[in-house]
Amino acid sequence: MSAAVGTPEVELVHWNPRRRVSRLLPARVTRPVDNFGDLLGPLVVRELLRRSGREHPVTDARLLSIGSVLHFARDGDVVWGSGVNGKTLAAPVTATRLDVRAVRGPRTRAVLAQHGIDAPEVYGDPGLLVGELWPRESFGGRPAGVTVLPNLHDVPAYRRHPGFLDPRTPVRRVLARIAASSLVVGSSLHGIVVAESLGVPARLVLPRAEPLFKYEDHYLGSGRDGFTPAATVAEAVAAGGEPPAVLDPALRTAFPVDLWR
Domain count for the chain: 2
Together in a domain, 171 and 114? no
Query: What number of H helices and E strands is found in the chain?
Result: 9, 9
Residue-level length of the chain: 261
Together in a domain, 46 and 153? no
Q: What is the pLDDT of residues 72-118, one digit of tens each?
A: 999 999 999 999 999 999 999 999 999 999 999 999 999 999 999 99
Of residues 173, 180, 222, 220, the one with CA closest to residue 198: 180
Cα 188 to Cα 151: distance, rounded to the nearest angstrom: 4
Cα 95 to Cα 84: distance, rounded to the nearest angstrom: 13
Within a domain: 244: no
- Apex 125 CA angle, 39 and 250, nearest 5: 130
Residue 254 main-chain phi, psi, to 5 deg: -80, -5
Q: What is the pLDDT of residues 201-256, one digit of tens each?
A: 999 999 999 999 999 999 999 999 999 999 999 999 999 999 999 999 999 999 99
- Apex 90 CA angle, 87 and 95, nearest 5: 100
Cα 191 to Cα 202: distance, rounded to the nearest angstrom: 8
Together in a domain, 94 and 155? no
Together in a domain, 68 and 160? no
Q: What was the pLDDT predicted at 15?
A: 81
Q: Domain of residue 185: give its range.
A: 129-239
